[in-house]
């Protein structure tokens, strides 16, 4: 079992206080964190996005918008959003 002298404990305590002061000073120097600074709020409507869904499932079974809440369900067994046709230039 290791025993520490009072000088070692005092040195460790002073080191920890200095470390905490450094962290506090850096946090104060950065100022308040404003992640939305410079951004403009825009309405979120269907012109900004396109619902993607498996090609073999109707949209209303995987997406809903009720009371301002968008919900989308994705499952690991889903097919792709496009029906793949071999030897077809675009799909």
Domain membership of residue 39 (yes or no) is: no
Specify which of 14-28, 38-52, 68-82 reaches the highest per-range mean pLDDT. Answer: 68-82
The predicted-structure confidence for 29-66, as pLDDT tens digits, reads as follows 666 677 777 888 877 777 777 888 888 888 889 899 89
Residues 22, 56 within the same domain: no
Percent of the chain residues topping a pLDDT of 90: 2
Residues 57, 88 within the same domain: yes
| Full residue range of the structural domain in which residue 71 is found | 50-91
The model's pTM is 0.41
Query: In degrees rounded to 5, what are phi and psi of residue 40?
Result: -115, 135
DSSP letter assigned to residue 65? E
Residues 23, 54 within the same domain: no
| Number of separate domains in the chain | 2
Residues 75, 66: Cα–Cα separation, whole Å: 21
Quick check: 91 pLDDT over 50? Answer: no
Helix (H) or strand (E) holding 29: helix 6-30
pLDDT value for 86: 60
């Amino acid at each position: 079992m290791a025993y520490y002298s009072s000088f070692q404990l005092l040195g460790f305590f002073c080191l920890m206080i200095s470390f905490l002061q450094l962290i506090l000073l850096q946090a104060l120097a950065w100022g308040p964190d404003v992640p939305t600074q410079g951004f403009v709020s825009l309405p979120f409507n269907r012109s900004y996005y396109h619902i993607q869904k498996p090609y073999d499932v109707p949209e209303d079974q995987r997406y809903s918008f009720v009371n301002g809440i968008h919900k989308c369900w994705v499952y690991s067994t889903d097919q792709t959003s496009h029906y793949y046709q071999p030897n077809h230039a675009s799909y």
